[in-house]
Structure 1
Amino acid sequence: MATVPRPSPSTQDQSPKEQVQDDRSLAELFGEVTTDIQTLFRQELALAKAELREEAAKAGKAAGLLSGAGFAGYMTVVLLSFAAVFGLAELIGLGWAALVMAVLWAIAGAVMYFMGRSRMREVSPTPERTIETLKEDARWVKHPTG
């Protein structure tokens, strides 16, 4: 009975692709890793840009609201103040009526300011998702199998 040589278990378990990859040089492997890292950083940069655009849009909307509130407040102050001052002047005198109206509009302006400021605080200048994925990438580079 003739014995047929069997392949060793280490080469039998590997696919042809894995056997070919084992023959690559260290320089080729390093080149692939470098290319992968460059691609990863490009993707992270694209994510950071997208997040910053999103935050800039939120800031623009908040600034638009603050500007609109300022203009509307100004127009309201001008038009209604004249009417209210002349109406109050019949009761307390023109000077006192103007002072009362100025205080009322100062209160309204303060309310709009605080509302706009609270909306502006919702804007985050740091790209949170990008920072988190960069941390994950750093953990992966330190421990690629775990």
Structure 2
Amino acid sequence: MTNSPNIIDTVKSLVSDAALLAQQEARLARAEVGEKIEQVQIGMIGIVSGLLLAFCALLILLQALVVALSNIMAPSLAALLVGVVLAVLAYISVKAGTEQLKAKNLVPERTLNSMRDSAETIKDAA
């Protein structure tokens, strides 16, 4: 009978610790989701800026084509060079933005690892 209070105290402590652990896991998950949302925003900014550069490149390439067709001279080649450079920059920007949006970059790894560790600790304690 002397063990009963100790067992009750142990169970109370275990329940309290489990509740605290659940609260900490939830806070960690919220923080990590916030970070991932910011990462998505950065990726979207990269994509949008890349698309804007691609649009500018298209305008310049079209201008170069018009100039080249109407008057084949050095100014058209200069416009063509600028258009190609902008097209390359647009490609790099969109590629960098899409890299940020890959599913593997958006997984809340710290939360998952922490939850696995907590589950193992609870199993070991039981």
Question: TM-score over 0.5 for the alignment?
Answer: yes
Structure richer in helix, relative to its length: 2
Residue in 2 that maps onto 1:81:
61
- Of residues 106, 116, 120, the one that matches 1:135 is 116
Deviations 1:73-120 (A, max 9, x none): 213422x234312221034xxxxxxxx9xxx69x64655543432332
Using the size of structure 2 for normalisation, the TM-score is: 0.69
Taking the aligned partners of 2:100 and 2:20, their CA distance within structure 1 comes to 36
**Structure 2 CA distance for aligned equivalents of residues 121 and 52 of structure 1:** 15
| C-alpha distance in structure 1 between counterparts of 2:63 and 2:56, whole Å | 13
- Confirm whether residue 47 of structure 1 aligns to residue 37 of structure 2: no
C-alpha separation in 1, matches of 2:23 and 2:36: 20
| Structure 1 segment 1-146 matched on structure 2, within 5 A | 24=5, 26-78=7-59, 80-89=60-69, 90-91=71-72, 108=88, 112-121=93-102, 124-144=105-125
What percent identity do the matched residue pairs reach?
A: 15
- Work out whether residues 66 and 116 of structure 1, in 8 Å CA contact, stay in contact via their aligned partners in 2: yes
Does the CA contact (< 8 Å) of 2:47 and 2:94 recur in 1?
yes
Could you say what the CA RMSD is over the residues aligned between the two structures, in angstroms? 3.5
Conserved? CA contact 1:55–1:123, under 8 Å: no
Name the amino acid aligned to 1:81.
Answer: L
Q: 1:29: how far off?
A: 2.7
Name structure 1 gaps, 5 residues minimum: 1-21, 92-99
Work out which of the two has the higher radius of gyration on C-alpha atoms and give 1 or 2. Answer: 1
Unpaired runs of 5+ in structure 2? 73-79
